[in-house]
Amino acid sequence: MRFRGPSSKFAVVMALPIAALALLTPASISAARAEMARAAPSDNAQAPGAGSVASVNPATGSQKSIASKAVDKVKEVAKSAGDILSRVPCRSPKGGAKTMGSLPHVAAKLVAGKPVVIVAFGSSSTWGAGATSPEFTYPNRLAAQLRRQYPGADITVVNRGKGGEDAPEMMKRLQTEVLDMNPDLVIWQVGTNAVLRNLDPTETAKLVEEGVGRIQAAGADLVLVDPQYSPAVNAKAENASRMVKLLGKVAELRHVGFFPRFEVMRDWHEGQSMPFDSFVVADGLHMNDWGYACFAQLLGDDIIKSVGQIKLGVNVPANVQAYKPM
């Protein structure tokens, strides 16, 4: 996986394709560790743990090769990834899910057998704060799911999450870190830090609508993701409610996809009676490994359903929203 952004280099070290891992050098590992130390989110969120990439055999005293250690790590991660949703199933909100609308650029690329570039754009919950390993962030989980669904496709998920940011800061890097990638799909997670910082939801929505227009003009499909339902966000209940409604309205007016993370997570807590600590870490804000896994699974299901309907020739209205209208 070509995984770029604040966690780019350590994600390359731990990326799932084993062939790529074998090409790493000790120098690149050192650089990755240094970059990881520099790339901590600005809101002081904990970084996903990357673990060690080399070990010493106690019997021989020799250092295990980087490639061998990476293979062991991949096996360990694959087992954990497979187990986590088996222990606690990931269910759609009550009433089921609807297609989020058409994703014509992604569908066209898959049908033509061309590479697909997806950019995950957002703040620390895109970057992966709260995850115990880079593999457990939602962009990596999503990439693995899409590759299982489309095993012959060349799918790249680029992580452009940066902790502590919201629409004002994201707009400043939209061109260089998103549009210059020529993405086929942008998944834009936004609004959480605006709520926490007491920014005006109306002003945030205006910036998001401007960004949506620029992404559409660049020829990319787009899915907006609203704030998470968690104790820290719920402490700003009025702002959170306004933000969620305004982002949904932007998606509806601009005819783009919308993943209602707030309602999905609320259903985990209220509809499925899951305590917050089963999907949110101790800071009361960021998701844990299970939370990211279920979020990625449901988002991936929506993407696959949308692409599948286009490939089958089903006429899907572009303004159909994911799940129930708010």
pLDDT tens-digit series, residues 43-99: 445 446 433 233 333 344 445 577 666 666 655 555 555 578 877 889 888 765 555
- For residue 137, the model assigns a pLDDT of 98
- Asked whether residue 151 carries a pLDDT value surpassing 60, the answer given is yes
| Mean pLDDT (whole number) for 226-231 | 98
147 exposure class (CB count in 10 Å sphere: 0-12, 13-18, 19+): middle
Q: Give the number of other Cβ atoms within 10 Å of residue 253's Cβ.
A: 11
- Asked whether residue 40 carries a pLDDT value surpassing 70, the answer given is no
- Asked whether residue 139 carries a pLDDT value surpassing 80, the answer given is yes
Q: pLDDT by residue (tens digit) across 194-213?
A: 999 999 999 999 999 999 99
The tokens describing 78, both together, are 């694959």
Q: pLDDT by residue (tens digit) across 237-272?
A: 999 999 999 999 999 999 999 999 999 999 999 999
Q: Which of 123, 112, 133, 161 is nearest to 52 (CA)?
A: 133
Q: Lowest-pLDDT range, 19-28, 54-63, 128-137, 201-210?
A: 19-28
Distance in angstroms (rounded) separating the CA atoms of residues 241 and 261: 13
- For residue 99, the model assigns a pLDDT of 52
- For residue 87, the model assigns a pLDDT of 76
- For residue 13, the model assigns a pLDDT of 37
Q: Would you give the end-to-end CA distance of the chain in angstroms?
A: 35
Distance in angstroms (rounded) separating the CA atoms of residues 47 and 236: 25
Angle at 169 between CA 234 and CA 159, to 5 degrees: 85
- For residue 310, the model assigns a pLDDT of 67
- Asked whether residue 144 carries a pLDDT value surpassing 80, the answer given is yes
pLDDT bucket at 308, cuts 50 / 70 / 90:
confident
Task: Give the CATH fold of the 96-311 domain.
Answer: Rossmann fold (3.40.50)
b/e string for 186-198 if b means 16 or more Cβ within 10 A?
Answer: bbbbbbbbbbbee
Distance in angstroms (rounded) separating the CA atoms of residues 68 and 75: 11
Q: Lowest-pLDDT range, 30-34, 116-120, 171-175, 177-181?
A: 30-34
- For residue 118, the model assigns a pLDDT of 98
- For residue 66, the model assigns a pLDDT of 73
Q: Which of 178, 189, 190, 161 is nearest to 117 (CA)?
A: 178
- For residue 243, the model assigns a pLDDT of 98
Could you state, in order of their start, the residue ranges of all structural domains in the chain? 8-78, 96-311
- Asked whether residue 31 carries a pLDDT value surpassing 70, the answer given is no
- For residue 266, the model assigns a pLDDT of 96
- For residue 251, the model assigns a pLDDT of 95
Q: Is the pTM of this model over 0.85?
A: no
- For residue 48, the model assigns a pLDDT of 62
Contacts of 50 (CB under 8 A, 6+ apart): 10, 13, 14, 36, 133, 134
- Asked whether residue 232 carries a pLDDT value surpassing 80, the answer given is yes
pLDDT bucket at 19, cuts 50 / 70 / 90:
very low
Q: Which of 183, 168, 72 is nearest to 123 (CA)?
A: 168
Mean pLDDT of all residues belonging to the chain: 79
